[in-house]
Amino acid sequence: MSAVSSHRKPPRVGDNKVFRRTLIGIVVVLVAFVIVAPLIIIGVEAFSKGWAVYRDTILHPDTRHAIMLTVLAALIAVPVNTAFGIAAAWAITKFDFWGRRFLLVVIEIPFSVSPIVAGVAYLFVYGLQGLFGPVLDAYGIKILFAVPGIIIASMFVTAPFVARELIPLMQAQGRDLEEASTSLGASGFRTFFSVTLPNVKWALLYGVILCNARVMGEFGAVSVVSGNIRGQTNTLPLHIELLYHDYQAAGAFASASILALIAVLTIIAKVALERQGAGRVRKTAIPAEKTA
């Protein structure tokens, strides 16, 4: 009896069939009603008045300008935040310095601050009554209610994404490879491009994809600093809101279908990157098991 009981596996959470099926059922119902149903509604309502209305909405000058402005914000904010994330992750994980933990906390601030609050804060920094507003106005530099304000707000809300993906991975990898590379005479740039970057490239790409999706879908901070001027400072999420308030529901859903498509493509890219990364881990683990 003692031998049988000693080999008996301890019970796991979810071994009970009723509990397991109930839990899976709850998850499926929530996913269906919270995630899948809105996506289906967007597709149905976007084409509710026919292909012609959908095409005219997408090709409308205001919609095209909103799309181009959203793409422009992503083309600037994503590379800047990628460089920032790499630099921050490299500094935090590879060096010891005073204020290291404080820097890690500062990077997390955009996740804890509401985007609308961040937009209002920028009003008090770059607005006419703000800290730098009078100086900028004297030199004819316009930040708020213009494209620069949209880009700055987009950079703020997406600043942590790349760093958040890189820091845990680089901490787990340690510093041994970089120290070995520098001891062999490699420069810092050579060490980064030959040693560090190949080991974190999947996490880096994953962070870039999330950052890009967040830029294109940002509403709160951008709505405050842009002025929401139709055809001038309207990004695609703001344009969707204007169409909906103008009782153009079909047009709003048509524009929203673009963001929904971006979301779906983001998920597909995320899954593909996860499979690529997992595949590389398995390939490197199998030879080690064989040699053991």
- Summarize pLDDT for 242-261 with one digit per residue, the tens: 988 888 888 899 999 998 88
Q: How many of the other CB atoms lie within 10 Å of CB of 112?
A: 8
Residues 6+ apart with CB under 8 A from 104: 92, 167
* CATH class of the domain whose range is 50-291: mainly alpha
Whole-angstrom distance, CA of residue 239 vs CA of residue 261: 16
For tokens 């994330």, the residue is 85
For residue 10, name the pLDDT band (cuts at 50, 70, 90). low
SS3 of residue 227 by DSSP: coil
Q: Is the pTM of this model over 0.85?
A: no
Whole-angstrom distance, CA of residue 285 vs CA of residue 292: 11
Tokens (6 digits) for 208: 């870039």
- Summarize pLDDT for 56-90 with one digit per residue, the tens: 889 999 999 999 999 999 999 999 999 999 999 98
Lowest mean pLDDT among 9-18, 114-123, 144-153, 200-209: 9-18
CA distances from 123 to 109, 237, 238 (A): 18, 20, 18
Q: In this predicted structure, what is the pLDDT of residue 272?
A: 81
For tokens 């499926």, the residue is 28
Would you list the domain boundaries of the chain? Answer: 1-46, 50-291
Q: What is the 3-state secondary structure (H, E, C) of 261-292?
A: HHHHHHHHHHHHHHHHHHHHHHHHHHHHHHHC
Helix axis angle for 61-94 and 197-217, nearest 10°, is 140
For residue 130, name the pLDDT band (cuts at 50, 70, 90). confident
**CB-based burial, 224-260: b 16+ in 10 Å, e otherwise:** bbbebeeeebbbbbbbbebbeeeebebbbbbbbbbbb
Instruction: Please determine, for residue 287, whether its predicted confidence score (pLDDT) is greater than 50.
Output: no
CB 215 within 8 A of CB 111: no
- Summarize pLDDT for 137-169 with one digit per residue, the tens: 888 888 888 899 999 999 999 999 999 999 998
